[in-house]
Structure 1
């Protein structure tokens, strides 16, 4: 899991890239920006899961997500703009741990003009950048949420996901993250009557393990060449805001010397009016002939060659915002079939209520309460159930943007 919290990093960085502009006769001047979020979390795991795993989990935790952005641009005499964005992980979770030393989260350059924008480097793919999902008032939803985040190996979820439970690659959200922040070339076309198109080419999308991060094309045994294309339509009609997105990613991987196809389909939408926003999204992953890390959503090996894994998930939510206040409710569910060469079905269900209150520009008080269930159809041992966990979580936090 790349992040503990979903911090709208791409949007914040996009705003940063428009600042710090220099003339063509000057070097690029970097501006400083970023965010800091900290949560105090209360979580209660299922007692049968703790008995089955032999682990007693603490009921109180502190989760954080902190990044510092460095970005700037220059405008050439011919009208082209060229810029850079570098995002430094600043502690608060496992990103800076010795086992996962990805200190620079994203780093890329961009070229923009009347033709659109090209992004080259480590950044989310074009389908991800245009994707729309369920709204959440606290920015605490999807693959980066404290409750809804990744699996147990990522250490991000307040309610622990059993290792046997499989779900989406990249965490429990509908955003397409097959490649994580692997190096790539992305093109975003100019918006035309509300329609924006984006596409990415990823030489190696093998970004599911900390040892690779999709950054070493010499790892041919686990490499995946991938391409994706997406679209976003955003417009307003008589005070009603409309957002619709869709996208497709295809990957061709070399896993255990067997060529493997991997596909992701995503779609989402939102309607907003008079402070209310209603929205949701859908995603389907299909992995054929799985013999390695792409076959389970968690990054560990699946021993059975020829395994087919299909994961389908969706989310839906509603939000109301008025002045400094915002409240929301969101629901997520995913189902995975064919894990480890069998026909068993794993299911993940999450719902949460979130709130936000703005104290001053860049300072928000956050709160979330919710429930999560992770279920594997494997057998239950007499001493407990290590393949099933469910529980409640409540949390409050503070978000600072600078």
Structure 2
């Protein structure tokens, strides 16, 4: 995989040198874009969970998710395109918290030509870029969704599970990704991450101070999109594998994902699956609570969405299970979610989501600890506005 990616980068470089003049028509100018989402959230925690933790949680809160994009590109005289992208966290979430000063979420450069696109920097891996999952009308699904992330119904500290079917283990660690040109609806991607140890909130991928704990990761992904008569089809699959080394302690990681969406008229149905297998050697991950979710487990989702033109409505289900990182048993997450969106104007949407969430730590019960602090469930509803620019 490493040799393939190096060869791909070399091909692009060769194109720069051999395909006519390589000078750019003009200097790169950055364009501004991004989004701003604000929600008013109502959430009702399990009373026994509040009693078990000794805390009372407010039933109403305000949540935000805001990013500003800076990006631009230039086209060389030989047709080669070179560009850059930065994504700035702009408040409303934990990214700007004092404990996590990494407010630049992603930053990378890319080189694109007729033989494909090479991305170098902090960006999702090739399997994630091509991944398909269950549809959601309010774009409130996945690891950053209000229900799934644990930001509405609180996630117990003893529960550690995957929250998305995307293989996002490497987070935004710096990497090299090659995406091939689309051919009859099929797109292929491949990624090499020299050091994926930056998955903790303290370092992410931009800080190589954890170089002593290096985790080389490789990934491949495929996406397919086409239309057959009245039916639109989207498919994806991905495979990511890697190894970790720290003071002679090693572990081998393998992850697989697959997803599909079928659209017929205004109706879209879809779902996805992800499995993680960790061949742990020497207790590496047990000794690192910050990555305690890096354990054997699986997650899947399914959903249906109706598109009424100016409005969309969806229902989704997600279930995630993982072997506990400390004792025998399983941790689990179950989510039922209904979402809706209504478009008021270009770039202005009213959104709403609601549903039921349950977190559970089975191992705590297996070890005789039946404290309700290890289990939480509840209903939540949120409404808000989303602006894109």
- Name whichever of 326-335 and 247-256 sits farther off: 247-256
Checking the alignment, whether the CA contact within 8 Å between 1:166 and 1:297 is kept in structure 2 is no
Matches within 5 A, 1:122-161: 122-149=122-149, 156-161=150-155
The match for 1:167 among 161, 166, 169 is 161
Offset at residue 346 of structure 1 (A)? 1.3
Offset at residue 26 of structure 1 (A)? 1.8
Q: Cα RMSD between the aligned structures?
A: 1.9
Q: What CA distance in whole angstroms lies between the structure 2 residues aligned with 1:291 and 1:180? A: 24
Q: What CA distance in whole angstroms lies between the structure 2 residues aligned with 1:33 and 1:118? A: 22
Q: What CA distance in whole angstroms lies between the structure 1 residues aligned with 2:288 and 2:255? A: 13
Residue 194 of structure 1 corresponds to: 185
- Give the gaps of 5 or more residues in structure 1: 1-22, 150-155, 303-307
Mark the CA change 1:77 to 1:244 in structure 2 (over 3 Å): closer, same or farther.
same
C-alpha offsets along residues 215-235 of structure 1, whole Å, 9 cap, x if unaligned?
333423432110000000110
Matches within 5 A, 1:357-376: 357-376=342-361
State the SS of the aligned residue for 2:143: helix
**Alignment TM-score, normalising by the size of structure 1:** 0.87
Mark the CA change 1:143 to 1:297 in structure 2 (over 3 Å): closer, same or farther.
farther
Checking the alignment, whether the CA contact within 8 Å between 2:197 and 2:205 is kept in structure 1 is yes
2:217 aligned with 1:226, yes or no? yes
Q: What CA distance in whole angstroms lies between the structure 1 residues aligned with 2:155 and 2:250? A: 30
Q: What CA distance in whole angstroms lies between the structure 1 residues aligned with 2:187 and 2:361? A: 39
2:376 aligned with 1:400, yes or no? no
Where do 4+ consecutive residues of structure 1 move more than 3 Å? 290-298, 379-382
Residue 20 of structure 1 corresponds to: none
C-alpha offsets along residues 246-290 of structure 1, whole Å, 9 cap, x if unaligned?
000001111453111111100000000111000000000112226
Q: What CA distance in whole angstroms lies between the structure 1 residues aligned with 2:70 and 2:222? A: 28
Residue 356 of structure 1 corresponds to: 341
Q: What CA distance in whole angstroms lies between the structure 2 residues aligned with 1:297 and 1:231? A: 32
2:88 aligned with 1:88, yes or no? yes
Mark the CA change 1:291 to 1:146 in structure 2 (over 3 Å): closer, same or farther.
farther
Checking the alignment, whether the CA contact within 8 Å between 1:52 and 1:381 is kept in structure 2 is no
Residue 374 of structure 2 corresponds to: 387
Residue 268 of structure 1 corresponds to: 259
Residue 209 of structure 1 corresponds to: 200
C-alpha offsets along residues 340-375 of structure 1, whole Å, 9 cap, x if unaligned?
1x3211111011000000000000000001111011
Checking the alignment, whether the CA contact within 8 Å between 2:179 and 2:189 is kept in structure 1 is yes
Offset at residue 309 of structure 1 (A)? 3.0
State the SS of the aligned residue for 1:231: strand
Matches within 5 A, 1:42-81: 42-81=42-81
The structure whose Rg is larger is 2
Q: What CA distance in whole angstroms lies between the structure 1 residues aligned with 2:351 and 2:282? A: 42
Mark the CA change 1:159 to 1:297 in structure 2 (over 3 Å): closer, same or farther.
farther
Q: What CA distance in whole angstroms lies between the structure 2 residues aligned with 1:177 and 1:293? A: 19
Q: What CA distance in whole angstroms lies between the structure 2 residues aligned with 1:100 and 1:32? A: 24
Mark the CA change 1:290 to 1:360 in structure 2 (over 3 Å): closer, same or farther.
farther
Residue 321 of structure 2 corresponds to: 335
C-alpha offsets along residues 295-325 of structure 1, whole Å, 9 cap, x if unaligned?
59972569xxxxx931111000000001101
- Give the gaps of 5 or more residues in structure 2: 1-22
Offset at residue 176 of structure 1 (A)? 0.8
State the SS of the aligned residue for 1:250: strand
Q: What CA distance in whole angstroms lies between the structure 1 residues aligned with 2:203 and 2:283? A: 14
Mark the CA change 1:330 to 1:103 in structure 2 (over 3 Å): closer, same or farther.
same
Checking the alignment, whether the CA contact within 8 Å between 1:291 and 1:301 is kept in structure 2 is no
Offset at residue 209 of structure 1 (A)? 1.0
2:276 aligned with 1:285, yes or no? yes
C-alpha offsets along residues 103-135 of structure 1, whole Å, 9 cap, x if unaligned?
111110111110010000011111000000000
Checking the alignment, whether the CA contact within 8 Å between 2:198 and 2:210 is kept in structure 1 is no
Residue 13 of structure 2 corresponds to: none
- Name whichever of 290-299 and 390-399 sits farther off: 290-299
**Alignment TM-score, normalising by the size of structure 2:** 0.89
Residue 36 of structure 1 corresponds to: 36
Q: What CA distance in whole angstroms lies between the structure 1 residues aligned with 2:78 and 2:211? A: 41
Offset at residue 294 of structure 1 (A)? 4.7
Offset at residue 207 of structure 1 (A)? 3.1
Across the two proteins, how many residue pairs are aligned to each other? Answer: 364
Q: What CA distance in whole angstroms lies between the structure 2 residues aligned with 1:290 and 1:327? A: 46
